[in-house]
Chains A and B, each alone.
Chain A
Amino acid sequence: MTDVWPYKLLTPRAERSRLQGVAITGGQSVGGIVRSARMDGGGLWVIEQEFFFHSRAQIKTARAIEAGLDGGTGEIIVRVFETPFAPVGSDASTVPFSDDSTFSDGSEFGHVPVGATLTAAAALRATTLSLTMIVGALQGGERFSITHPTKGRRLYTISRVSGNDITIRPPLREAVTVGTELDFTQPSVVCRLANPDDFLGALDLNNNLIATAVWIESF
């Protein structure tokens, strides 16, 4: 079981996530045209996050995680910030306790449903998915995660929306079945730490510590 980054405690103050790929060009022709070819088959997630730690709990947790990652060989599930972009519905619904009981005044938990499920299976490396939204509508540019049986949690971004079909990048890391859930609220991906030497910065006199992490999708 891969550890999950404690996002609520260690929230990045800035982050940048991108699909890193390898493109080669043949240089510029006389006509000014640059032709390029892409050779990586879809790219690899690289996530840069910057943290400002100032509490005892934050610094100790970060140190513990750094130790557990064993110099970049360990894996951890890294979450990207997606809350303002998730396709949420405007109507909050309510949920009772698991035994259907409510609070003493009869009220239930507030709950905003979010997410989508696939209506068709898709093969390994598919880039088109058919889905049904629980609530809300997709516009493109959203990021979501699928928890695959063997590859674990993988991150995808929506490049195009056409009715109930979406085009995603990168290509699916593993085949998916009908009913697979798409998680828009906590998109995350299995990563390794690419900069174990520079992860935690210097601790200053006020017990503040700036950490920068470069995460690379792990296989």
Chain B
Amino acid sequence: MLPEQEAAMSALGAPRYSILVRIETTSQVIRAWAGVGDLAIPADTVEAAPATYLGVGLLGEVPALRQLIGGVAERLEFALSVPSGDVFALADADVEQVRRAPVSVGLVFFGTSWQQSTVAWLWNGTADSTTVSRQASGLNVTRQIKISAGSAFTDRTRAQLTGFTDTDQRRRSSDDSFCSRVDLYTQTATVKWPA
């Protein structure tokens, strides 16, 4: 958590806050928050104009957010619980509208009488694929659509590096001799550099 968000929470005493998720597809912007009823958010860096976030019935699950530097880039799945309606079409017929859609996750802070004070946008990513999950146990059927989103570091075309032999490195870059001495090393011998 950023220092200014920490300060905002402390200043408000007993923390009252909620989570915002914004998914900007080509045809519509899905705005959902974890609370109840409508929530009006003023214009800021993410929202160009004041917008209304929808409460109950849309936001199912927000995963834990991480930012990694030099690690494996993360991929998150947001769950929207939609038994019906046009949002469901996004996962079914209008998949193309979701691909590459910007996804933003933020926190909204409230004062002691639930008057909202600040909105802090925490994470930006790009939506990728959508899946429909349907679970039935007895007569209870729950249906959600899950939108997979990656951060700016996520790219599925690049595999994680596994082999570090000279052959592997030359396959990646033909004139790179960085790993040329790897085969001189063994587990039991220490070779002076340069030998």
In the complex, what residue of chain A is closest to B111 when comparing beta carbons?
A127
CB contact under 8 A between A127 and B36, given known A39-B17, A39-B18, A219-B57:
no
A-B CB contacts (within 8 Å), total count = 73
Report the separation of the CA atoms of residues A197 and B14 in the bound assembly, to the nearest whole angstrom. 39
Q: Are A125 and B114 in contact (CB under 8 A)?
A: yes
* Residues 9-47 of B contacting A (Cβ, < 8 Å): 14-19, 33-40
Q: Are A41 and B114 in contact (CB under 8 A)?
A: yes
Which residues of chain A are within 8 angstroms of B110 by Cβ–Cβ distance?
A: 41
Q: Are A41 and B40 in contact (CB under 8 A)?
A: no
Q: Are A128 and B114 in contact (CB under 8 A)?
A: no
Q: Are A42 and B37 in contact (CB under 8 A)?
A: yes
* Residues 71-126 of A contacting B (Cβ, < 8 Å): 123-126
Q: Are A40 and B114 in contact (CB under 8 A)?
A: no
> Is B1 located at the chain interface by the 8 A CB criterion?
no
Question: Closest Cβ of chain A: how far from B76's Cβ, in Å?
Answer: 19
Question: Closest Cβ of chain A: how far from B39's Cβ, in Å?
Answer: 7
Q: How large is the interface on B (under 10, 10 to 19, 20 to 34, 35 or more residues)?
A: 20 to 34
Question: Closest Cβ of chain B: how far from A24's Cβ, in Å?
Answer: 10
CB contact under 8 A between A41 and B113, given known A36-B14, A124-B38, A124-B40:
no
Q: Are A41 and B37 in contact (CB under 8 A)?
A: yes
Which residues of chain A are within 8 angstroms of B37 by Cβ–Cβ distance?
A: 41-42, 125, 151, 170-171, 173, 219
Which residues of A approach B to under 8 Å, CB–CB? 22, 35-44, 123-128, 151, 167, 169-171, 173-174, 197, 217, 219
Please name 26 pairs of A and B residues whose Cβ atoms are closer than 8 Å in the assembled complex, sorted by A. Answer: A36-B14, A37-B15, A37-B17, A38-B14, A38-B15, A39-B17, A39-B34, A39-B35, A40-B34, A40-B35, A40-B36, A41-B55, A42-B35, A42-B36, A42-B37, A44-B36, A123-B40, A125-B37, A125-B40, A125-B116, A128-B113, A151-B37, A169-B114, A173-B37, A217-B36, A219-B36
Which residues of B approach A to under 8 Å, CB–CB? 14-19, 33-40, 55-57, 110, 113-116, 139
